[in-house]
Amino acid sequence: MRIARKGFTLVEILIVVVILGILAAIVVPQFTSASQSAVKGALQTQLKTIESQIELYRVNESGALPHNDATSALGQAADADGNGSWGVMVSDEYMKDEPFNGFVKTSIVETGDDVTVDDAMIADAAWVDTDPGWLYDTTSGRCFAYGFDPNEVKLANEAGYNP
């Protein structure tokens, strides 16, 4: 008399593992692409919000840009490298919180004169977690997200990016 065994054979288990591997190979790249798209969308939205709030500040302060506020200047030194906080933009409630750059993983803003998108696009994959997330032009009031080109809607780590 033959004893009935319950369970799966090795071949059946291997077939299931192979099928799961194929599914994972198809699904994982789609999540990565969706993640990049989410970061780009968030940066686009934040840049529009920041620029509209800077313009609102300028209107309320008779043409003065946030950086010119002596008590809580945007970009006021917050760390040893001279990179700063969002200062008056948050303290006077033009923005609820400091904006977070999801590409370089920080809220720190750096200020400069006559900056461009090219200045902000110097970020690369090595930048993540080490440098400022935002670049603010003190002469024009424009703001840029490090590692993001709003004209091309491209992150610095995407294919075809050439600094």
Q: Residue 131: inside a domain, yes or no?
A: yes
**How far is residue 60 from each of residues 53, 65, 120, measured CA to CA in Å?**
10, 10, 28
Q: Residue 74: inside a domain, yes or no?
A: yes
Q: Residue 108: inside a domain, yes or no?
A: yes
How far is it between the farthest Cα atoms of the chain? 97
Q: Residue 21: inside a domain, yes or no?
A: yes
User: What b/e sequence results for 65-85 when a residue is b if at least 16 CB atoms lie within 10 Å of its CB, and e otherwise?
Assistant: bbbebeeebbbbebeeeebbb
Q: Residue 146: inside a domain, yes or no?
A: yes
Q: Residue 4: inside a domain, yes or no?
A: no
Q: Residue 5: inside a domain, yes or no?
A: no
Domain encompassing residue 32: 11-155
Q: What angle do CA 142, 43, 140 make, to 5 degrees?
A: 0
Q: Residue 105: inside a domain, yes or no?
A: yes
Containing 14, the helix (H) or strand (E) segment is helix 10-60
Total structural domains within the chain: 1
Whose structure tokens read 């990565």?
A: 32
3-class state of residue 67 by DSSP: helix
Could you list the pLDDT tens digit for every one of the 163 residues in the chain? 677 778 888 999 999 999 999 998 888 777 767 788 888 899 999 999 999 999 999 999 888 888 755 565 676 655 555 457 788 888 888 888 889 988 888 888 887 777 766 666 655 444 444 567 888 888 888 888 888 877 778 887 776 655 4
